[in-house]
Amino acid sequence: MNPLFNIFLRGFLFAQNNPQIIYTLFLVVMIPSAFFFTSEQFLRIARENQDLFERNRIGILQDVFVLFAKEHVDDASYLSTHIQSIVEQNETVTRLQVMRKNTSSEFIIVASKDDVDVGTPFVPDPLSSALFSNATGRPGESFAAKFFTDGVRYWRSVRAITDASSAMPVAYVLTDVSMAEADAVARKNIRSAYLVLALIIFLIIVLLARQARIIDYATLYQKLKEVDHMKDDFVSMAAHELRSPLSIIRGYTEMLADGEKLSPGGQTNLKHIDDAAVHLNHLIGDILDVAKLQEGRMSFRFESRDVSKDIAEVVESFMRVASDKGLKLSYENISLPLISIDPDRFHQVMINLVGNAIKYTPSGEVRVITSQEKESVVVRVSDTGMGISAEDQQKLFQKFYRVKSEETSTITGTGLGLWITSQMVKTMHGDIAVESIKGKGTDFILRFPVIKESPTA
Ligand code: ADP
């Protein structure tokens, strides 16, 4: 296999088994990056807006100045006075000068905020040259460009002053505006934005440090799952292995009971051994069923069937046990519509329910009643036994759950029968419910969907 693909596959499998790592990475990388990205976006937009705003401001200032300067283009002292008052009110304006073209590459300053500049030449650098030539080409507009001096950002703007009659440029206004103050404010804001960002990242890291404990738990959970799996494997293997010696014990007790003349005391002891072996056998059977159901290894062979006869068989098999206990066991065998079930599993379900009804009914009767309701076959196993409280009914179908009371204390069981029963019923697309009144009796109700007959041709 391609080694790169191999690495990728291993990485993918690792991530799949440890989703918490992805979550952590997401928090560490994605959230700060998202913050950083959005802050950058906001800053960029803010900077662009500020530039636009400054450009417009200089443009307006020049437009207004040109409006009255037009009339006094030859009156240098008038212009200088006004320039001084404009500059006084706009601290960011570092240069505001009116100049005339002297030679092709030189201008003469005719008015300025500082009188000493008046009459001195101005030789434009390439940036200013471009502004002058633009202003000459389109005399009605201001042209601006950014430049830096000693680390300070400036906007320089040039606009032509035209002759009233010829509309030709006779002079130019050159304005420099310092962005030092605006940039200082922006820098301060950016610094606080980054400070907030650093704080958020710090908080995320603190949260992640706590998260690390959750990651430990997740790993522990994974390990526990593996141990649980191993335990299930072990239990099911052990249960399997116990079956053979148990069959041998039961075989010999049967032989002893049949063949030898035992004293009444010996008979009783042998009965005790056999009862214990039967109980152990049930327990092993239940444990194996639980393991199979949990791992989805229990096979179901579905058949369309009228289950009335199957129920009759189960009821029949319990007649002796019921009468020994002095209970009346009844079932009215009426034929039923077809349902899709595995006959062996259905048999097991009925054995569990009728067996429990007899087991938990000290006196009275157990009835199995069948009916058809709407599109379902309903099987009701009803007893007049000890009943189950509403609280216990909630937990009845949980694994290993047994009702703890004085009445049940002498009755042996595993608490697995109803869990196995409900799992089997569910797998056979049925439903199980319980209705019970403590001290009065219990009904377990099974519902299976009737198979819809396919329309005959
Ligand atoms: P167990 O092996 O204990 O019988 P089950 O899973 O079959 O296990 O039943 C769980 C518990 O539900 C029993 O311990 C019993 O207390 C109660 N139970 C089951 N069926 C009945 C019933 N027909 N009447 C009263 N209690 C019942």
Tell me which residues have their CB closer than 6 angstroms to ligand 1: 352, 356-357, 360, 383, 385-386, 388, 396, 401-403, 408, 413-418, 442
The residue to mutate among 283, 360, 425, 442, having the most atoms of ligand 1 within 8 angstroms of its beta carbon, is 360
Over residues 10-67, the pLDDT tens digits come to 888 877 776 666 776 777 777 778 877 887 888 888 888 888 888 888 888 888 888 8
Over residues 120-129, the pLDDT tens digits come to 999 999 999 9
- Rounded to whole angstroms, the Cα distance separating 270 from 126 reads 118
**Claim to verify: residue 268 and residue 383 sit in the same structural domain:** no
Residue 160, domain member (yes or no): yes
| Atom from ligand 1 closest to the CA of residue 414 | 2
The last residue of one of the domains, among 159, 178, 197, is 178
Among 85-99, 260-274, 338-352, which is the least confidently predicted range? 260-274
381 CA → ligand 1 middle, Å = 13
Q: Residue type for 130, please?
A: A
CA dihedral 409, 410, 411, 413 (to 10 degrees): 70
- Rounded to whole angstroms, the Cα distance separating 105 from 123 reads 7
* CATH number, domain containing residue 99: 3.30.450.20
**Claim to verify: residue 193 and residue 221 sit in the same structural domain:** yes
**Claim to verify: residue 423 and residue 305 sit in the same structural domain:** yes
Res. 307: pLDDT tops 80: yes
Residue 326, domain member (yes or no): yes
Residue 9, domain member (yes or no): no
The last residue of one of the domains, among 109, 143, 178, is 178
357 CA → ligand 1 middle, Å = 8
Exposure pattern of 150-163 as b/e (b: 16+ CB <10 Å)?
eeebbbbbbbbbbe
**Claim to verify: residue 57 and residue 143 sit in the same structural domain:** yes
Over residues 88-114, the pLDDT tens digits come to 888 889 999 999 998 888 999 999 988
Phi first, then psi: what are they for 43, rounded to 5°? -65, -40
The last residue of one of the domains, among 275, 293, 311, is 293
Beta bridge partners of 172: 99, 160
**Claim to verify: residue 198 and residue 286 sit in the same structural domain:** yes
**Claim to verify: residue 196 and residue 320 sit in the same structural domain:** no
**Would you state the pLDDT for residue 19?**
67
Range of the domain at 154: 22-178
**Claim to verify: residue 156 and residue 196 sit in the same structural domain:** no
Exposed, middle or buried, 25 (CB in 10 Å: 0-12/13-18/19+)?
Answer: exposed
Residue 312, domain member (yes or no): yes
**Would you state the pLDDT for residue 453?**
67
- Count structural domains, the chain: 3
Residue 12, domain member (yes or no): no
**Claim to verify: residue 288 and residue 326 sit in the same structural domain:** no
**Minimum CA distance residue for ligand 1 atom 11:** 402
pTM of the model: 0.56
The residue to mutate among 327, 396, 422, 443, having the most atoms of ligand 1 within 8 angstroms of its beta carbon, is 396
* CATH number, domain containing residue 441: 3.30.565.10
Alpha helices in 325-400 (DSSP H): 343-359, 390-395
- Rounded to whole angstroms, the Cα distance separating 279 from 200 reads 64
